[in-house]
Amino acid sequence: MKLPKHTKKDYKKTAEHFGVSPKEVENEIAEAIKAAYNQPDGSPQKEFFKSLFPHGKLPSNKEFIEIMAARYVDEK
């Protein structure tokens, strides 16, 4: 997956803060997305994902971060 430069920079900053590698940050974000996405139907997490990603596919890190950033900006 090719990530935008700003995302790579964010992974690097987060990694430095927590004393891990950027790849570990990327992998942990992917695992968190996957864990929330794979919740049973009807769970708050699953309904949240269905509302953001109606195509029914597991979103990539990039897709998830872009959608969440847009929601955050919209709420401000």
Where are the domains positioned within the chain?
Answer: 1-7+46-76
Q: What is the pLDDT of residues 19-55, one digit of tens each?
A: 999 999 999 999 999 998 888 989 998 888 888 888 8
Exposure pattern of 23-62 as b/e (b: 16+ CB <10 Å)? eebbeebbeebeeebeeeeeeeeeeebeeeeeeeeebebe
pLDDT at 33: 92
pTM: 0.76
Residue scoring higher pLDDT (74 or 3): 74
